A and B are shown apart, each in its own frame.
Chain A
Amino acid sequence: MNEKQTVLNNKKNIRRRNGKAFFTGMRDGIPIALGYFAVSFSLGIIAKKAGLTPFQGFLASLFTNASAGEYAVFYLIAANATYMEIALITLIANARYMLMSCALSQKLTSDTPTYLRMMLGCTVTDELFGISVARPDALNPFYTYGAFALASPCWACGTSLGIIAGNLLPLRAVSAFGVALYGMFLAIIVPPCRRNHVLAVLIPLCFAASYGASVAPLLSSVSSGTRTIFLTVAISAAAAALFPVKQDEEAVE
């Protein structure tokens, strides 16, 4: 086989691998898309109160993809806030994505090109981050793109639909879809506990701390996004100091 053919074959293999990752991502994106649809529908109801048209709601969700962040911004738009206030609240409500993005950067092989990293940047949401970081070995960004390709339009359309027809879906259906996201989170955090005893103790502790923070006098008054950052930094730092991860342990994940 000559050199040109080898290169062509390699390219073909990479394309095939990326395609496979993309479809696996789409499959894993189904529960996310369903959950997004339900959540964004209720987000649309708030967007309507802020005076957004269905088209504006669609744009907002397509380009931002952030539940708590959008919620906070719509809330402020309704109050005719300044541009500066919008910028600040966006920064605070979405700062956790920076942590996730840092963690995700460690899942990529160091030769992942910049344009793929920039595309991956669009996809960092709680849920897509969750399934991406749970991949065995290094992350093929196309996996995340696949899930994003399904979930993001659902998020955007759900928002528009929420603006158009706030009370169309029966409450029971919305309520049931609402837990799809949490079910997914559980599917990510629970299985490693069987092997890793630190995580088996840490996760119930996180539940308790999160509950505590949601009722504590000072902490309960800040937004849930800020609370999430605070708890994530504090608990992860404590865990890292007390139980540093061994190399081989990480390799198993």
Chain B
Amino acid sequence: MNHNIYVYLAIMAGITYAIRVLPLTMIRRQIQNKFLKSFLYYVPYVTLSVMTYPAILHATQSPLSGAAALAVGITAAWLGASLFTVSAACCAVVFLLELLL
């Protein structure tokens, strides 16, 4: 059976939007439950951590430059560099290292 690509794309876009918009429009108050509050407080940090490592090692041509970017990124962020600076530092390290490697 042949499928229409536009129907595929519409299904993908529709479902993705529903997933994103429902909690934002349905949850209108500050949640009072202590466990839920704490859970939602930790969610962003845990998600972003989980997505960063080990994926950063595979984002570059060699895991070594990925690891270097990780080290530089953590150091720069710890020292209080801005979002853009940390990000640019990571890119620069990978670019330089891969020139040498």
**A: which residues have CB within 8 A of B?**
27-28, 30-31, 34-35, 51-52, 56, 59-60, 63-66, 69-70, 73, 77, 80-83, 86-87, 90-91, 94-106, 108, 110, 114, 117-118, 120-122, 124, 126, 129-131, 133-134, 171-173, 175-194, 199, 202-203, 206-207, 209-211, 214, 224, 227-228, 231-232, 235-237, 239-241, 243-245, 250, 253
Contacts and interface: CB of A to CB of B under 8 A. Distances in A.
Contacts of A182: 52, 55-56, 59, 69-70, 73, 90
Nearest to B82: A187
Given A31-B83, A51-B5, A236-B46, 12 more contacts: A64-B12, A65-B16, A97-B16, A176-B98, A177-B91, A179-B59, A183-B86, A186-B86, A187-B85, A199-B45, A203-B45, A232-B47
B65 A59 contact: no
Interface of B: 1-3, 5-9, 11-13, 15-17, 19-31, 34-56, 59-61, 65-66, 69-70, 73-74, 76-78, 80-92, 94-95, 98-99
Contacts, number: 294
B100 to A, nearest CB: 11
28 contacts: A27-B84, A30-B84, A63-B13, A63-B17, A83-B11, A86-B8, A94-B15, A94-B19, A101-B24, A102-B23, A106-B31, A106-B40, A172-B61, A177-B91, A178-B94, A179-B90, A180-B87, A182-B73, A185-B51, A186-B70, A190-B78, A193-B78, A202-B49, A236-B39, A236-B43, A239-B42, A244-B35, A244-B38
Given A183-B86, A231-B50, A98 B19 contact: yes
B46 A235 contact: yes
A178 B38 CA distance: 32
A134 B22 CA distance: 21
Contact of A191 (B5, B28, B44, B80): B80
A228 B83 contact: no
A247 to B, nearest CB: 9
Main secondary structure, interface of B, reads helix
Contact of B21 (A60, A121, A171): A121
